[in-house]
Structure 1
Amino acid sequence: MPKTVRDLLPNGHSYDETDEMPKKIKITELDLVMSTLTIVGHFIDLGLDINVAVRYYLAKMMTEFAWTLAFILLPAFVNTAVSIRMYSLDKQQDSLSNEFTKRKWLRIFILVLQMAPILRSIDALIYAFKSRQAERNKDPATQHTYYRLMLKEDSDAALLRIFECFLEAAPQQVLQTSLLLRGNDELVVHQMLSICSSIGGMGWCLAAYQRAIRFAQQDKANMTWCGSVLQTIWHFLVSLSRIMAISAMAYLYPHWIILACCLHIFITATLLQIFDRSPFCSHNRVGDIAFSFALGGVYLFTYILPIEGRTRYRYSIYYSICFVQNIACSIAWYLFADEPTKLSVYFIPVLVLCLVPYALGLGFMLVYYGFFHPKVKINDFVFTVNNPLTAVS
């Protein structure tokens, strides 16, 4: 039995034929619509973030402009670096889906524009259309080939979307929420649009990730839609609570929260290097460390496994520590917010959002593991050498 989703995909590294592709495969109109909406949603989210950055620049708010721009460019750079590493692995293994060499200059141009997830998503959509065309032509061999290629590209795109979700959308929500709490009537509409687009982007990213996992596991009846929905809600609620807790502290103590987040990232990256080093960038020591720090940034909001292993103890430690942090943030918000803030309409909602979604998210996690967890040992958000993305448990 394959250990990861990528064992099922035509990534050029290897095929594990112990689990064959299902004999009957079908790409529906809903699948094509979701893929298209993922691409469109990326541009909408990016456009609204750029819009608020421009508004800060025009208002001569250069510090806010710099932070907003940094949270746009830095995650895009990380995604581009990860995507190039994927292409490198595909090329080394002479992957059937190594499309980078085709229309090479166009693809380089897209990567330079920092749109790595879009590149992968477009390839996945193209393969989906070709698979459907082969189905209409009654050519099952070609249909299966393009279906496998679509799975591989969708899996790669899903990984990139996870990084985009927690290194771009989530930090943007923290930044814009903390700035919104400070109050600027002229920019409130643009800030709200950016926040809403980031929240929507994060939710859609998690849903698209679950879709990619379900695609790659169509031969496994134990991965149900209910399980996928529960996992999406679980991670979304926990991430939302973390975002609000950090935003509250960014409003009260902007410099201290930057230090605290940097310390959090440094500690988690160090622990990854010591105990759970991912083999994804093991060929290069600098890249290996950089990848650990990128994961450390993700760990500000949620937990993903860097290597295959048991999740119980890791989850217990991570979620317990983060829950204590959220409680501390709630107490600080309640005790140390100034009087105008305590009298504002958002004081109680922020307090509630720091704790309630987190508790609800853990509740959904317990329900999932109690009733919908696959009996097959497939671990949540596992990272492997070929592609740091595998099936959700």
Structure 2
Amino acid sequence: MPRTARKMIQIGYPRDETDRMPNNISISDLDIIMYIVAIIGHFVDLALDINVAVRYSLERRMMEFGLTLTFILLPAFVNTAVSIRMYSLDKQQDSLSYAITKRKLLRIFILVLQMAPILRFADALIYAIKSRYAERRKDPLSQRMYYALMLKEDSDAALLRIFECFLEAAPQQVLQTSLLLRQYDHLAIHQALSICSSIVGMGWCLAAYQRAIRFTQEDKNNVTWSGTALQTAWHFLVSLSRVISISLIAHLYPQWTVLACILHIVTMSIWLQLYDKSPFCSQNILFEVAFSLTLGSVYLFTYILPNESKTRYRYTVYYTICFLQNVTCATLWFIYSDDVTRSAIYFYPVLVLSVVPFVLGIIFMILYYAFLHPKTSGNGLGVTYNAQVEVVDVS
């Protein structure tokens, strides 16, 4: 029987880490299934996007092919860079997760293939299975250790999924939707499949991220499943309206849309740098600016908190700006669309979808914070960095 020794280790660094776990740490069949579905879903979404790119190439539509391929590869490079940064910080902090997951060749192979979230989900799945096996062996110390590691990998995977959804999936939806509106042909079914696969994961990935980081906040209770469902509806509806709005204006004025999106991203990045820096890359000014630009790009579609603090005013400013942008896009679409577009069956439905889901999303957000948002239960410490967790060193 292996010798075990209790010790205190740091599994954190300047970002949200596991320092508070629920009382019930038993791994259910649903937990295992959800990780498997997340891995399969990643491959399906990637395959459908690649399929569209290949179709464009075969049709000699090289501009569409180049744009589609860019929105596949560029976010993958960003995710890989963020994931490498995570592993680097794990190594600097000598975290247990780094010590246990020294599968360097496999890790390098997956990162080279630009599949960083898959590696994190796979590690989380492995820890979940080990925690479950330890529970069956009546080994609560190992069970708790592997559960803590599962939560950490789950939180990392959720952050990577956010970048994947809003740097790859959402822009891909805008591109394919605007192309679909511009030219309905025999490629429409492939474009529609790519759009649908991207839409499905957007709302859930944000709710999963918020649920994952909630476990890291010692002074707050965890999100209930009803709260997660409301968050999913909130983020999904807001993101959907943003995608539709940007697609409408891209259909009318593609060049001006690119310029407006760049202006939005730069403005949000400056906001982050001046008032809301994330500690994730605070050790290096270049990485810090790059990370702010990455988050600024995500803010083109939705808002995530870079730090745990008061959200009322930030949400008010951000959602007011986005609502005005959506209304402007809808107005331009209604006024300046040509007669062919006006006679199309989709003209009024997309006009409604550019505004109404946004309003419904804000209503769900208000309901969530009014009735289902976890209240502070401790000493008001907020996010805890470099949190120490009692685990077991199995040697």
The TM-score with structure 2 as length reference comes to 0.89
Tell me which residue corresponds to 2:59.
59
**Does 2:84 correspond to 1:84?**
yes
SS in 1 for 2:302: coil
Tell me which residue corresponds to 1:245.
245
Letter in 2 for 1:137: R
Tell me which residue corresponds to 2:296.
296
Kept after mapping to 1: 8 A contact 2:151/2:212: yes
Rounded Cα–Cα distance in structure 1 between residues aligned with 2:154 and 2:315: 27
Tell me which residue corresponds to 1:283.
283
Instruction: Report how far residue 101 of structure 1 moved.
Output: 6.1
Instruction: Report how far residue 227 of structure 1 moved.
Output: 1.2
The list of structure 1 runs, each at least 4 consecutive aligned residues, that deviate by more than 6 angstroms after superposition, is: 16-19, 217-220, 382-387
1:284-363 alignment, distance < 5 Å:
284-363=284-363
**Does 2:30 correspond to 1:30?**
yes
Instruction: Report how far residue 17 of structure 1 moved.
Output: 12
Kept after mapping to 1: 8 A contact 2:124/2:149: yes
Render the CA deviation track for 1:109-133: whole Å, top value 9, x for unaligned. Answer: 1101111110000000000000000
Tell me which residue corresponds to 1:376.
376
Kept after mapping to 2: 8 A contact 1:49/1:68: yes
Instruction: Report how far residue 330 of structure 1 moved.
Output: 0.5
Letter in 1 for 2:50: I
Instruction: Report how far residue 305 of structure 1 moved.
Output: 2.1
Instruction: Report how far residue 209 of structure 1 moved.
Output: 2.8
Rounded Cα–Cα distance in structure 1 between residues aligned with 2:383 and 2:249: 31
Rounded Cα–Cα distance in structure 2 between residues aligned with 1:67 and 1:17: 36
Render the CA deviation track for 1:124-161: whole Å, top value 9, x for unaligned. Answer: 00000000000111111111110011011001001101
**Does 2:54 correspond to 1:75?**
no
Rounded Cα–Cα distance in structure 2 between residues aligned with 1:365 and 1:351: 22
1:163-202 alignment, distance < 5 Å:
163-202=163-202
- Residue 137 to residue 188, structure 1, CA distance change in 2 (3 Å): same
Tell me which residue corresponds to 1:390.
none
- Residue 13 to residue 285, structure 1, CA distance change in 2 (3 Å): closer
Render the CA deviation track for 1:13-45: whole Å, top value 9, x for unaligned. Answer: 49x999764454211101111111000000000
Instruction: Report how far residue 232 of structure 1 moved.
Output: 1.0
- Residue 13 to residue 354, structure 1, CA distance change in 2 (3 Å): closer
Letter in 1 for 2:105: W
Kept after mapping to 1: 8 A contact 2:281/2:288: yes
1:103-252 alignment, distance < 5 Å:
103-210=103-210, 212-213=212-213, 223-252=223-252
Tell me which residue corresponds to 1:256.
256
Deviates more, 1:281-290 or 1:353-362: 281-290
Letter in 1 for 2:320: S
Rounded Cα–Cα distance in structure 1 between residues aligned with 2:143 and 2:82: 29
Report 1 or 2 for greater relative contact order, CA contacts < 8 Å, sequence distance ≥ 6: 2
Instruction: Report how far residue 370 of structure 1 moved.
Output: 1.3
Letter in 2 for 1:112: V
Deviates more, 1:199-208 or 1:351-360: 199-208
Rounded Cα–Cα distance in structure 1 between residues aligned with 2:19 and 2:111: 34
Kept after mapping to 2: 8 A contact 1:12/1:96: no
Render the CA deviation track for 1:287-335: whole Å, top value 9, x for unaligned. Answer: 1111111111101011112223210111001101110110000100000
Letter in 1 for 2:96: L
Rounded Cα–Cα distance in structure 2 between residues aligned with 1:281 and 1:215: 22
Deviates more, 1:145-154 or 1:222-231: 222-231
Tell me which residue corresponds to 2:41.
41
Kept after mapping to 1: 8 A contact 2:215/2:222: no
Rounded Cα–Cα distance in structure 2 between residues aligned with 1:194 and 1:326: 23
Render the CA deviation track for 1:78-106: whole Å, top value 9, x for unaligned. Answer: 11111111111110010000158622111
SS in 2 for 1:98: helix
Aligned residues: 376
Q: Which runs of 5+ in 2 are unaligned?
A: 1-8, 388-395
Rounded Cα–Cα distance in structure 1 between residues aligned with 2:84 and 2:384: 16
- Residue 145 to residue 349, structure 1, CA distance change in 2 (3 Å): same
SS in 1 for 2:355: helix
Instruction: Report how far residue 270 of structure 1 moved.
Output: 1.4
Rounded Cα–Cα distance in structure 2 between residues aligned with 1:312 and 1:239: 19
| Alignment RMSD | 2.7
Render the CA deviation track for 1:164-212: whole Å, top value 9, x for unaligned. Answer: 1111111111000000001241211110110011111223423533553
Quick one: percent identity of the two aligned structures?
A: 67
Kept after mapping to 2: 8 A contact 1:241/1:356: yes
Q: Which runs of 5+ in 1 are unaligned?
A: 1-8, 388-393
The TM-score with structure 1 as length reference comes to 0.89
